[in-house]
Every structure is written in structure tokens, then in C-alpha cells.
């Protein structure tokens, strides 16, 4: 099915002036498929850094109460859809890596006491896995940006376990909120994350998620704060005000003479 879509796309190249992709990875892939370099522009996905912000501790205290989140646990987030279809999502969408997420938490649970916050529909596979591991969680199907920002601010870690991504948006949103991101090297991850400086890049293995999780927990309070600040500074560069200008400039070179 995917092969058919790719072949259909490639057969239409003569009719396409410009292809916009969010990453250099995808640009290289397109060129490998036969797309001409001049047809491709790389424009990253952006973030609204006025909404996705690191909130003050007084407000976070209220959020713990609002969402009934325990204060004595390490909070890990995963905000996406990773089940097949739009039902319960008990069958995993493998490309989104819900199996990597659960296996990573399995290793963490042996030494720590995590609490998980989930958003997005069709999270059945993950929820069953969490119940099996006896990890408590909160699942809210949230789409409002302000609500999402609140939930990001409750996190100690945000995990990106996908095997393929265009962004994801959660990368920029979490970093903009100053959350520690541990992510597979997909999509825009290596564009934003300077490993161990503003987040952590791993190699698709649950063992690696656990390794960097433990590494971060051993940092001093000041070291953790610096990583958080660095993440926010990086995300600021990807504010939609900056990205929209790049988008306009890339498109205009084809259509504005």
C-alpha cells in the first residue's frame, strides 16, 4: 500500500514545482527516490512559544491538584496516537513505537516509581501495557493547546519512541515548555537536540531510554535547570513567526518573479 503511494507520487513529479519537507532526512530520501534537489525545500515544523511555555511553580502546584497528579513520582509523558484505527487502539501502530515505550517503562519500573500522562486517541495498547506493569497513569484525549501546555508542565520527561516522524510536534512543544526530552533519532530530533545539552537522542532501544533516564536523574539541580533552559532557547528558534517567514520565502522563490 505504501509502495503504491510512493510510486504514484513519483509519477507526478513532472507536475510538481515545489516539495516542502520538514527534515534533511526526508530531503535525502526524496533525492534518493529521484526527486531533483531544486524541487525540494526544507521548512521545519514550528511551535507557538507563547502558549507552550514553562510555567511558574505556583501555577504548577495548582495543576497537580487540578489533574490529581502525585507529587512523589517521576512523571513521564507520551502525547500521540499510537493505536491502529480510531477505536480503543488495542492493536499497536508499530511505526509510532508503543512497544518501545512500554519496554522502556518496564526497565524504569524495576528501579523507579513512574507515573505516566497520556494524551491522544487509541492508546489501548499502551494502557494495557501500563496496567500489566502496574504503572499508574492519566489518559486525557486533549487537543486544546492551552490544556496540552498545562500537561507538558507536569512532566519530568517526554519520551518520543517513534520509528518514523516528520517532527513530531511534541518535540518542539515539550522543549518549549522546558521538559527533558528523550527521543529516538527520527524526524527533527537531531535538528533540535544537541545530545546531553538540551535533551537526549537514543537509538530505538529501550535500554537506551533507560540509560539516559538514569543519567538525567543523577544530574544536579543546576545541571537539570540548565538543560531545561537550553531546550527552551532552542525551541524559541522554531516559533511559528520564524517558520512562517521561511515558508513564505521558500514558496515565493517559485511563484513570485
> What tens digit of pLDDT does each residue of 210-245 get?
999 999 999 999 999 999 999 999 999 999 999 999
- Helix 169-176 and helix 221-236, axial crossing angle in degrees, nearest 10: 120
Please, are residues 92 and 123 in contact by the beta-carbon 8 Å criterion?
A: no
Is the pTM of the predicted complex or chain greater than 0.75? yes
Q: Which three cell numbers stand for residue 257?
A: 518573479
Question: What pLDDT shows up at residue 50?
Answer: 96
Rounded CA-CA distance 73/134 in Å is: 14
Rounded CA-CA distance 47/118 in Å is: 20
Query: Does 22 have pLDDT greater than 90?
Result: yes
pLDDT in tens, 65-76: 999 999 999 999
Q: Report which of 72, 29, 94, 69 is spatially closest to residue 152, judged by C-alpha positions.
A: 69
Q: What is the mean pLDDT of residues 100-125?
A: 97
Question: What pLDDT shows up at residue 101?
Answer: 98
Question: How much is the mean pLDDT over the chain?
Answer: 94
pLDDT in tens, 134-189: 999 999 998 899 999 999 999 999 999 999 999 999 999 999 999 999 999 999 99
Query: Does 253 have pLDDT greater than 80?
Result: no
Q: Report which of 177, 155, 159, 179 is spatially closest to residue 168, judged by C-alpha positions.
A: 159
Q: What is the mean pLDDT of residues 118-125?
A: 97
Residue 140 to residues 13, 152, 195: CA-CA distances in angstroms? 41, 12, 30
Question: What pLDDT shows up at residue 154?
Answer: 98
Rg (CA), the chain: 19
Strands (E), 38-192: 40-42, 74-79, 114-119, 137-140, 157-160, 180-184
Question: What pLDDT shows up at residue 203?
Answer: 96
Cα 18–Cα 22–Cα 26 angle in degrees, nearest 5? 80
Give 31's pLDDT tier (boundaries 50, 70, 90): very high
Please, which residues have CB within 8 angstroms of residue 156's CB and are 6 or more apart in sequence? Answer: 74, 75, 76, 179, 180
Give 2's pLDDT tier (boundaries 50, 70, 90): low
The widest CA-to-CA distance across the chain, in whole angstroms, is 62
User: How many CB atoms are located within 10 Å of the residue 26 CB?
Assistant: 18
Question: What pLDDT shows up at residue 5?
Answer: 77
Give 196's pLDDT tier (boundaries 50, 70, 90): very high
Rounded CA-CA distance 173/47 in Å is: 6
Give 256's pLDDT tier (boundaries 50, 70, 90): low
| Residue scoring higher pLDDT (143 or 199) | 199
Question: What pLDDT shows up at residue 211?
Answer: 98
Rounded CA-CA distance 128/20 in Å is: 38
By DSSP bridging, strand 157-160 and strand 74-79 are: parallel
Amino acid at each position: 500500500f505504501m509502495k503504491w503511494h510512493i510510486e504514484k507520487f513519483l509519477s507526478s513529479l513532472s507536475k510538481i514545482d515545489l516539495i516542502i519537507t520538514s527534515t534533511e532526512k526526508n530531503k535525502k530520501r526524496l533525492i534518493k527516490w529521484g526527486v531533483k534537489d531544486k524541487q525540494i525545500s526544507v521548512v521545519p515544523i514550528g511551535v507557538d512559544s507563547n502558549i507552550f511555555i514553562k510555567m511558574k511553580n505556583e501555577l504548577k502546584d495548582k495543576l497537580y491538584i487540578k489533574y490529581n497528579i502525585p507529587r512523589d513520582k517521576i512523571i513521564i509523558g507520551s502525547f500521540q496516537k499510537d493505536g491502529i484505527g480510531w477505536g480503543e487502539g488495542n492493536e499497536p501502530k508499530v511505526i509510532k513505537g508503543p512497544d518501545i515505550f512500554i519496554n522502556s517503562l518496564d526497565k524504569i519500573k524495576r528501579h523507579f516509581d513512574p507515573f505516566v500522562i497520556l494524551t491522544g486517541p487509541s492508546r489501548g495498547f499502551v494502557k494495557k501495557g501500563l496496567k500489566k506493569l502496574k504503572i499508574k497513569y492519566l489518559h486525557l484525549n486533549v487537543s486544546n493547546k492551552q490544556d496540552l501546555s498545562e500537561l507538558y508542565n507536569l512532566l519530568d520527561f517526554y519520551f518520543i519512541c517513534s520509528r518514523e516522524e516528520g517532527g513530531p510536534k511534541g518535540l518542539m512543544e515539550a522543549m518549549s515548555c522546558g521538559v527533558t526530552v528523550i527521543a529516538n533519532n527520527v524526524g527533527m530530533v537531531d535538528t533540535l537536540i544537541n545530545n546531553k545539552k538540551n535533551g537526549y537522542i537514543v537509538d530505538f532501544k529501550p535500554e537506551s531510554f533507560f540509560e539516559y533516564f538514569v543519567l538525567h536523574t543523577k544530574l544536579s539541580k543546576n545541571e537539570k535547570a540548565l538543560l531545561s533552559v537550553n531546550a527552551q532557547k532552542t525551541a524559541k528558534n522554531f516559533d511559528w513567526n520564524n517558520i512562517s517567514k521561511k515558508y513564505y520565502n521558500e514558496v515565493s522563490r517559485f511563484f513570485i518573479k
